[in-house]
Structure 1
Amino acid sequence: MSPVFSHGDLRLYLLNLLDEGPRHGYDIMQALSDRTGGTYTPSAGTIYPRLAKLEEEGLVTKSIDGRKTVYAITEAGHAEVQSRAGDLEGIEAGLADSVRLIAEEVRGSVREAMKSLRADLAAASADERQSAPQPTESDDPRVLTREQLHRADAAISEFRARLRSDLRSHVARGGVLAATFVDELADDLDRIARDVTRTLNG
């Protein structure tokens, strides 16, 4: 997946979080996760060494509160945050772009997984049909009809799911759904429904 923070950006972002108020380590990691929509959850091995470095630079202090270590920004750290407000705006914009790309990658992976699942189900269904005994004239027609109804239900559900997925993906990519297109789609679906009704009643 795409990286969330570019090199050096995490250091400034940590200062910015502490500029909002003192935090303990877990709280910092949770804040980073929350502000990236859960797409970035840093480890203690990532955060604590950076906090120690900020402390060495005199930008952060730490104190013990019970069993927790609380980090607070110093005047020097606050001054750096203020002087780099433009950089922070760029980090926020880049962060939003990175999270959006990660979300798109996740959606793409889910779509591919669903395609693979549907292919596996179709293959399993085909194998089942091949291995199943062929119906004979003595089979109960009501049983056979119920089996065909199940197939019809599955086909309709698959069609509906595929159509909804295509429409939602089109909109998610920034595509537009014109009213004329939706009207034509509704007319086509209505025509198909009438054809099915006419065939059943014929």
Structure 2
Amino acid sequence: MTPVFAHGNLRLYLLKLLEEHPRNGYEIIQALSERFGGTYSPSAGTVYPRLAKLADDGLIVKNSDGHKNVYEITDAGRDELERRSDELDAIEDEVSDSVRRLADEVRTGVTDAMRSLRAELAAAAREAKTRAQDEPVATPREPDARTESRVAVYEIENAVSEFRRELRSDLRKAVAAGKVVDDELVTMARAELARVRELLRPR
């Protein structure tokens, strides 16, 4: 993923978060992650040195609240935000574009996975049919049909189970990487699965 913040921009955005209200370090990291829909979650090693520099520059102050340090913007920090308001607007726009791109990537991945599942189901059905045709006919037609169906069901269930494991792993990796999994994606996934089920309905 392309870095969300260019040089110096994270520092400016930290000031923006503290302008809203004082926060401790953990709350700042959570606010950043939530603000960007999970597509960006900075490490403590990224945030705390910048907070320390902001404090050294007099733009924020650090106050002790029990076992936590709470950071609060100063008047000088507010003046900095006022002077650089255009830069802050540009950062917000860039992050919104990044969130949309990542959401599109996840949707494309799910669509490709659904297409792969349909292909696997069709291939399993063809393989089961070929296998049944190659076997010697030793029983009446009706038992052969039932056997063929049982083989097909077995193959399909295996394909679905394997797909489910892989999709679950892919989704977890996507979320861990900061990609967006939203209601639109869930709706699309359900629609694709419903289309797969149509392949199994009697014609």
Distance 1:71 1:144 in 2: 73
Identity %, equivalent residues: 52
**Residues 101-159 of structure 1: CA distance to partner in whole angstroms, max 9, x if unpaired?**
122223233334444555555555655556667372624626726955997xx8xxxxx
Deviation at 1:53, TM superposition (A): 1.0
The residue number in structure 1 matching 2:69 is 69
Q: Which of the pair has the greater relative contact order for Cα pairs under 8 Å at 6+ separation?
A: 2
Deviation at 1:63, TM superposition (A): 1.0
What is the count of residue pairs matched by the alignment? 159
Matched, 1:138 2:136: no
Distance 2:138 2:97 in 1: 64
Distance 1:117 1:101 in 2: 25
Deviation at 1:8, TM superposition (A): 1.8
Distance 2:34 2:2 in 1: 18
Assess, with a 3 A threshold, how the Cα gap between structure 1 residues 39 and 131 changes in structure 2: closer, same or farther: same
TM-score by length of 2: 0.63
The residue number in structure 2 matching 1:107 is 107
The residue number in structure 2 matching 1:33 is 33
* More displaced stretch, 55-64 vs 131-140: 131-140
Larger radius of gyration: 1
Assess, with a 3 A threshold, how the Cα gap between structure 1 residues 100 and 2 changes in structure 2: closer, same or farther: farther
CA contact (8 A) 1:58 1:77 kept: yes
The residue number in structure 2 matching 1:6 is 6
CA contact (8 A) 1:2 1:102 kept: no
Deviation at 1:77, TM superposition (A): 0.4
TM-score by length of 1: 0.64
Distance 1:117 1:5 in 2: 38
Q: Unpaired runs of 5+ in structure 2?
A: 157-183, 185-201
CA contact (8 A) 1:32 1:41 kept: yes
- CA RMSD, Structure 1 to Structure 2 (Å): 3.6
Q: Unpaired runs of 5+ in structure 1?
A: 155-171, 173-195, 198-202
**Which amino acid is the alignment partner of residue 6 of structure 1?**
A
**Which amino acid is the alignment partner of residue 136 of structure 1?**
V
Assess, with a 3 A threshold, how the Cα gap between structure 1 residues 56 and 127 changes in structure 2: closer, same or farther: farther
Deviation at 1:41, TM superposition (A): 1.1
Assess, with a 3 A threshold, how the Cα gap between structure 1 residues 135 and 92 changes in structure 2: closer, same or farther: farther
The residue number in structure 2 matching 1:49 is 49
CA contact (8 A) 1:3 1:98 kept: no
